[in-house]
Amino acid sequence: MCSIAPLAISNDGIKAEGLLARTVDWVFGYDFFISYSHGDGMRFPRRVKERLEQAGFRVFLDQTEYVAGADLRRETRRQVAKSRKIVVIGRAGALKSEWVKREVDVALAHDKIPVILNLNGAVEAAPPDAILATMARERDWLRLTETLDDPDGEPSDQTISELVRGFNHTRQETKRQRIFATAATVLALTAAVATWQAIVAVRARTVAEAQRDRAQRVLEQVIGNANRRVESLSLRIKWERETSRAHQTIPVHVYHPPEPTARSSLQQANDLITKGTSLLASGDFRGSRAPFEEALQILESGTGAESAESQWQSARFNLYNDLAKAALKSNEPDEALAVLTKCLAFVQERAAAEPKTLEWRRRRAVLHQKIGELHGEQGRLVEARSQYREATALWRELASVPELLPVARRGLAFSLAQLGDLELKRPNTELAVALSQESVSLLELLAGSVGPGPDLQRDLSVGYQQLADALLAAGRAEEALIWADKDLAISQRTAAESSGPSQQRDLASSYDRRAQALVQLGRNAEALDAFDKGTTLLEAAAAADDAKPSWQRDAAAMLENMGKLLKKMGQQERALRMFRRALSLREGIAALAPDWQTEVENAYWQITGFMRSIGQDHEALETAEQYLLATSFAADANNGKAERIGRALGTLCWSALLAKNFQRAVWAGRHAVYLAPKLDWVRSNYAHALMLSGEREKAKEIYLAVGSLSPDAAKRWKDQVLKDFEEMKKRRLEDRLMVEVGAQFVVD
């Protein structure tokens, strides 16, 4: 626990600073403040800002202006006060938003009358509880009517012109004020000696505020991580209690041969299957397995006459699949694999007994695919490949049967796509391309013969994306762009027909593929536009009530790709904002699904490294501290957690080193080595910290401890140490031990 001593600053100093702050705001304020609701969409407000800036105005919009760690309520009051006009994007969510209402109240308190952009008659159509709409009607605020097919689309030229025309006089006044302010500044410089003490006091206050804000951000991080830990723990306890209650209420049935007057064995099994299905649907995955297993005991022990009945066989087949589903939902993939393997043996037996029954052959192909998926998810690529090949061979046989042609072609297309995806992971890119091309050809042929229904359109979209991925991996970006554009056309058409969150997510995914192809082609501006459209769509979809948690993960990945592109284009500050937005999304995911905690830690590692690369060493140190907190406060307790904390400490050690906080670097390095002794870069960071803190002998011992390493490992160690030395020299971190160690490495 650290404490922050109170600052001894006089009232006169505070008054002087307040006057200076108000003067700066008055001179360097904004022409427009745009107020809107995120729930209505973010593209329209952003385009209004961009259009007004093209016309020469300064515009405040919270998507781009706020910085991490800011007190949003205080910052909002200040930004509204320092803006000449406030423009409210009048859509349904904004007119009912408490936040937008608060911004308008601040504007009115400063004698600024809001301008309402009335989109598609939202003010007139607003319900009685939309307070802003009522105020706009009663007070006759200026309303600019805007009619758009897409409420989050492009603002019209007329609307922008009206805003510009309404501001022209004020803007000229602002120019005169700034000229006068500049003149006053010139006069003030002549009195610099007389005001030096006041400037020093303000500067000290500014530094103190920056330190306080950093401490506040760290505190917020601690609280956020604690909240995630509590939420995760609460969810786990709730689940355990509900599971325990479910087990207490489900009696354990022991199968007895039926009495002559009892229900038939098949009826008893079906009763148990019904009970298990109900429990499975209600979310009691473990509880559902007891009746399922009891039903399976009945069906597997049936007499020859009973088990030969088609209803008996179908019930047994379906039961295997239900049991596998329950095992997967209980996070027991190996148990699911064992059940499906038993099911495959049963199906193979039936297929051999009834060679003319095509359904058993079809089921066999599907089972091979399911088993292949489970092997692939567990990283057993060889086993997965074998299963997919079996499935592909079976589907090829079935595709020669006329009555099964559409079903078999679709199954074959899926099987080829699975094989292609597997080859991409191996990686065998050219084979992956060939398999994906054959899969797409089959789907296109199927669409031409049976008609492009919505399900088949989605299959084609997925197929085009997979083919684009394979081509990108093979370095064939021009071809990849062709298929990405085909995919985009399908997604745009589907989204136009139904604009739900799922369609938005699919369209965003298509923009992402297109952007990746454009990046490889060096068409960065087009790629950035595609990323921008995709992230806007995906963030909106992820905010929907019925959104899947994985959508936030997809949005975070797309924001990170966009950040990498911006970094490549030299737009470092904007890239940093993308990385921060991605980190925020990943933190939200980890609160719901602790298994994804590693992704949060990777995001912290990435953003810390990026900050160091652009010279923000102190900010990088702060973020590295947050990285350590996020890792150490994580609710999970798996066997790899010690090494993960060691990695975070190693990153903190290097960040503290570059920020010249050697004491913190030594502390972090020492503990990092304890927790992750097998990581060479952790040991080298600790040695650097020891060297620069004056403990050269300890550092030298670590640097030169290469005798037990293999020749290749020793070379990698020396190369890494020398590379670090070069990086430290660029930051003016030098020590005579660097020369000694470098010379010794050459001799060895």
Specify the CATH number for the domain of residue 152: 3.40.50.10140
Residue 509: the pLDDT is 94
Residue 236: the pLDDT is 45
Please determine, for residue 735, whether its predicted confidence score (pLDDT) is greater than 80. yes
Residue 30 belongs to a domain: yes
Q: How confident is the model at residue 237 (pLDDT cuts 50, 70, 90)?
A: very low
Which string of DSSP letters, residue by residue, matches 89-109? EE-HHHHH-HHHHHHHHHHHH
- Give tens-digit pLDDT for 685-724: 999 999 999 999 999 999 998 878 888 999 999 999 999 9
CB count within 10 Å of CB 132 equals 24
SS (H, E, C) 417-468: HHHHHHHHHCCCHHHHHHHHHHHHHHHHHHHHHHCCCHHHHHHHHHHHHHHH
Residue 595 belongs to a domain: yes
Residue 518 belongs to a domain: no
Q: Is 523 helix (H, G, I), strand (E, B) or coil?
A: coil
Residue that finishes a domain, picked among 145, 169, 190: 190
Residues 130 and 242 placed together within one structural domain of the fold:
no
Residues 66 and 33 placed together within one structural domain of the fold:
yes
Residues 175 and 27 placed together within one structural domain of the fold:
yes
Please determine, for residue 252, whether its predicted confidence score (pLDDT) is greater than 70. no
Please determine, for residue 191, whether its predicted confidence score (pLDDT) is greater than 80. no
Residue 223: the pLDDT is 44
Q: How confident is the model at residue 534 (pLDDT cuts 50, 70, 90)?
A: very high
Residue 502 belongs to a domain: no
Q: How many domains does the chain have?
A: 2
Which residues in 307-429 belong to E strands, given as ranges? none
What CATH number has the domain bearing residue 565?
Answer: 1.25.40.10
**Alpha-carbon distance 227 to 353, whole Å?**
59
Amino acid identity for residue 550 in this structure: S
- Give tens-digit pLDDT for 65-110: 444 344 566 777 888 888 889 999 999 999 998 889 989 999 998 8
Residues 173 and 234 placed together within one structural domain of the fold:
no
Q: What's the rounded mean pLDDT across residues 338-363?
A: 91
Alpha-carbon dihedral sign for residues 446, 450, 451, 454: negative
Residue 187: the pLDDT is 66
Please determine, for residue 2, whether its predicted confidence score (pLDDT) is greater than 60. no
Please determine, for residue 251, whether its predicted confidence score (pLDDT) is greater than 80. no
Which residues in 12-149 belong to E strands, given as ranges? 30-35, 59-60, 83-90, 115-119, 143-146
Residue 200: the pLDDT is 62
Residue 701: the pLDDT is 93
Residue 515: the pLDDT is 96
Smallest Cα–Cα separation from 148: which of 83, 90, 67?
Answer: 90
Residue carrying the six token digits 């956020």: 224
Q: What's the rounded mean pLDDT across residues 549-565?
A: 89
Residue 249: the pLDDT is 43
Percent of the chain whose pLDDT exceeds 90: 41
Which residues form the domain of 586?
198-249+548-637
Residues 567 and 614 placed together within one structural domain of the fold:
yes
Residue 257 parent element (H or E): none
Q: How confident is the model at residue 593 (pLDDT cuts 50, 70, 90)?
A: low
Residue 680: the pLDDT is 92
Residue 650 belongs to a domain: no
Residue 431: the pLDDT is 94
* Residues whose CB is less than 8 angstroms from the CB of residue 27 and which lie 6 or more positions away in sequence, other chains included: 177, 178, 181
Alpha-carbon dihedral sign for residues 418, 419, 420, 425: positive
Residue 739 belongs to a domain: no
Residue that finishes a domain, picked among 190, 220, 236: 190
Residues 184 and 69 placed together within one structural domain of the fold:
yes
Tell me the backbone φ, ψ of residue 115, rounded to 5 degrees: -105, 125
**Alpha-carbon distance 87 to 141, whole Å?**
11
Residue 532: the pLDDT is 93
480 and 432 Cβ atoms separated by less than 8 Å: no
Q: What's the rounded mean pLDDT across residues 553-562?
A: 91
Residues 207 and 163 placed together within one structural domain of the fold:
no
- Give tens-digit pLDDT for 139-177: 878 889 999 988 888 999 999 988 888 775 455 445 556
Residues 163 and 218 placed together within one structural domain of the fold:
no
Q: How confident is the model at residue 300 (pLDDT cuts 50, 70, 90)?
A: confident
**Alpha-carbon distance 611 to 604, whole Å?**
11
- pTM over cut 0.75: no
Identify which has the larger pLDDT, 180 or 109.
109
**Alpha-carbon distance 37 to 42, whole Å?**
8
Q: What's the rounded mean pLDDT across residues 183-202?
A: 60
- Give tens-digit pLDDT for 8-44: 333 444 344 455 555 555 556 788 999 998 888 889 9
Residue that finishes a domain, picked among 171, 190, 209: 190
Residues 176 and 232 placed together within one structural domain of the fold:
no
Residues 101 and 122 placed together within one structural domain of the fold:
yes
Residue 99 belongs to a domain: yes
**Alpha-carbon distance 680 to 134, whole Å?**
65
Chain CA centroid to CA 339, Å: 34
Burial 484-500 (b: 16+ CB within 10 A, else e): bebbbebbeebbeeeee
Average pLDDT, the chain: 82
Which residues in 324-375 belong to E strands, given as ranges? none
**Alpha-carbon distance 404 to 363, whole Å?**
13
Residues 598 and 627 placed together within one structural domain of the fold:
yes
CA distances for 305 relative to 262, 310, 312, angstroms = 18, 11, 10
Looking only at the bridges linking them, the beta strands covering 143-146 and 115-119 are parallel
Structure-token pair, residue 145: 């009517």
Identify which has the larger pLDDT, 74 or 565.
565
Residue carrying the six token digits 């299963």: 387
CB count within 10 Å of CB 21 equals 14
Q: What's the rounded mean pLDDT across residues 520-542?
A: 93
Judged by average pLDDT, the poorest of 112-121, 247-256, 401-410, 629-638 is: 247-256
Residues 172 and 27 placed together within one structural domain of the fold:
yes
Judged by average pLDDT, the poorest of 202-211, 226-235, 708-717 is: 226-235
Residue 81 belongs to a domain: yes
Q: How confident is the model at residue 462 (pLDDT cuts 50, 70, 90)?
A: very high
